Chains A and B, each alone.
Chain A
Amino acid sequence: MISIKDLHKSYKMGSNSLHVLKGINFDVSEGELVAIMGSSGSGKSTLLNILGMLDLLDKGSYDLDGVPIKDLDETKAANYRNKFLGFVFQSFNLINYKTALENVTLPLYYQGMNRKDRENLAIEYLDQVGLKDWATHLPSELSGGQKQRVAIARAMVSQPKVLLADEPTGALDSQTSKEVMALIQEINSKGKTILIVTHEEEIAQMCSRIVRLKDGIIMEDQKNKMKKAI
């Protein structure tokens, strides 16, 4: 599903440049639930941003479901993101003046789907995350776990090839974290490819594969016996 070869990325910080990713080779096949682990500064977020086409790679190649991701301009990247990827963020990133339902319909709006279909589909996905009854609520009226579930519904509604989650449990307590991970595992069990960036060992253990990054290179990449979240 994902194939990355010799990926390099560096940031210019004034006169020096910071070499963040130093040759990453990494393949993900369909249906995997991958945890990308590493301490801060290891380059795990940068890797996720490049995978998410939020950032450009300097060197190397990136193929997503056979599509070479290169020569990205903003419009092309936006269309790819919309078509191929679903995002889940640590801070949920819901639009706070839109209801849960409106938040979930947003990717479909940018796909140009009509209102009726959009809402029907969004309700379906809210139902899947158990929040159908909360559709008309604003994010401020939801708990952290509920917000993250709305965000997951939003990420899933466009039926992306890959779900990218950046510390999805970082802002949640352990019980809620488990619930959210259970949801992610459930989605994965239906065949969705999911990448999770985390620094929590416990979360990583709930994934089927763990990739450990340190100083911009992959230290360890191994299969894991997925632990049930709940």
Chain B
Amino acid sequence: MKKIFDKDTWQEIFGSIQKNRTRTVITMIGVLWGIFIYIALAGSSKGLDNGFERAFQSIASNSIFVWGSYTELPYAGFKAQRPIQLKLGDVEILKKRVKGIKFIAPRNVTGVFGTVGGNIVRGNKTGTYSIYGEFPEYIKIATSKIYDGGRFINDKDIIDERKVCVIGERTQLELFEEDENPIGKFISINKINFRVIGVHKFVQGGGFGDDGDIYIPFATFKRIFNTGDRVNFFMIAADEDIDGIQVEKDIKATLKQIHKVDPKDERAIAGFNLGEIFRKTMNFASGLTFLSLIVGIATILAGVIGIGNILLISVKERTKEIGIRRALGATPSEVRSQIILESVFLTVLSGLIGIILGALVLYGINAATEDMTDFPYTNPTVPIPYVLGALFLMIVLGTLIGIIPAQKAVSIKPIEALREE
């Protein structure tokens, strides 16, 4: 250990490394490239990971969608293939019977699932957009940002059946002038005038929806489209600390009870669990991280093998020098440790350069993708343990690979080494 901190040891190592600079540099590029790939990949997959996380930010990561479909089993005197229609009254029952529901937002929509969208007119501009009937709870589940001083639908809007709407960014772009503030202005939806109360910033999350969607109070929707107590689907946020899959099961079971569906019926109450999808996506991201680790480490390994290879050649070339050193009193362990130290030094030095280059590239990618909100890539960083792990790995590999040329150097008898011309 004392040897490592000895200035003379390093002087010897620098001396022999400098002897063939070009070759040393080219060899180092091998390891440098390996660690660079490792850092760039690990950082990128972390960036992707962060990006996914950000994409799901717009919607509570444990949200569940449920809607009525057709029964597949006859039950309680009903035939199979009976359509199930969710009702507004289901909400209270669900809240009462299912544990772990944080928010529940009944929603109606026209413009998706094959229904006709709303006809929007403003002055001489027209367009067709999906219209959603919403409760204020919706915004607590899907955290769309309302901007430009606007607001979302509130309880008073529902009670008074106000004709107010929240429009999408695209709707704003298509119906309003660029410098015009849409808040407080009126647009006509199916020939009824609505006051714009907010603009929502759309962020791609799970499920459907786009940046042209128009939200109106549920009660107003019910009156205009004559939907009565019918609900297209429920959007539910489960409590954070609870198993979303269990909540989904409980909700479905309860709905089956309410609507007299066979408990074994798999089709009547449909739904999807965003938490589940979120988890799968995050699993995918960590799979990617794992893959990048494997690829990175394999590339480092290839680089280190290159160093071992070049040292082997260098030992061959330096046979005579090693012979001289041994004639002058270098013990086999001194010869061996010098070559191993050379290997470790080359590996770690090129590794450090690789880490710095990798970090610079990640910084560059980050700067380039910062404004691309629809690209799931945010803040690519490499966790410090990964970096330290890579350095440790390089020291270990450098040592192991150095043993081969070191052993070769020692195996040459000094007398034979001296004879070599």
Residues of A within 8 A of B (CB): 49, 52, 54-55, 74-75, 78-79, 81-83, 87, 89, 91, 93-95, 97-98, 102, 106-107, 109-111, 115, 154, 158
Contacts and interface: CB of A to CB of B under 8 A. Distances in A.
Contact of B331 (A55, A74, A154): A74
Given A89-B418, A95-B324, A110 B330 contact: yes
Nearest to A82: B329
A45 B321 CA distance: 20
Contacts of A154: 328
B415 interface: yes
Contacts of A106: 325, 328
B15 A78 contact: no
B102 to A, nearest CB: 72
B46 interface: no
Contacts of A75: 331-333
A48 to B, nearest CB: 10
Which of B15, B326, B328, B414 has the most CB atoms of chain A within a 10 A radius of its CB?
Answer: B328
Nearest to B329: A82
Given A55-B415, A97-B18, A115-B8, A78 B326 contact: yes
Contacts of A79: 329, 331
B410 A74 contact: yes
B252 interface: no
B211 interface: no
B321 A95 contact: yes
Interface string B261-278: 000000000000000000
A81 B331 CA distance: 10
23 contacts: A52-B327, A54-B327, A54-B413, A54-B414, A54-B415, A54-B418, A74-B332, A75-B332, A81-B327, A81-B328, A81-B329, A87-B328, A91-B421, A95-B324, A97-B16, A97-B18, A102-B15, A106-B328, A109-B8, A109-B12, A110-B325, A110-B329, A111-B329
Contacts of A115: 7-8
Interface string B371-413: 0000000000000000000000000000000000000001001
B23 interface: no
**Interface range on chain B (Cβ under 8 Å from partner):** 20 to 34
B328 A82 contact: yes
The 9 closest A-B pairs by CB, nearest first: A82-B329, A110-B329, A54-B415, A78-B331, A75-B331, A107-B328, A74-B332, A93-B324, A97-B19
B8 to A, nearest CB: 6
Majority SS of interface residues in chain A? helix
Interface string B1-18: 000000110001001101
Interface in B1-43: 7-8, 12, 15-16, 18-19
B72 interface: no
B334 interface: yes
B321 A78 contact: no
B320 interface: yes
A82 B331 CA distance: 9
B108 to A, nearest CB: 84
A80 to B, nearest CB: 9
A115 B7 CA distance: 9
A98 B328 contact: no
Nearest to B410: A74
B272 to A, nearest CB: 70
Contacts of B418: 54, 89, 93
Nearest to A154: B328
A169 B12 CA distance: 30
A78 B415 contact: no
Contacts of A87: 327-328
A109 B10 CA distance: 13
Contacts of A82: 328-329
Given A91-B421, A106-B328, 5 more contacts: A74-B332, A74-B410, A97-B18, A110-B328, A111-B329
A158 B329 CA distance: 10
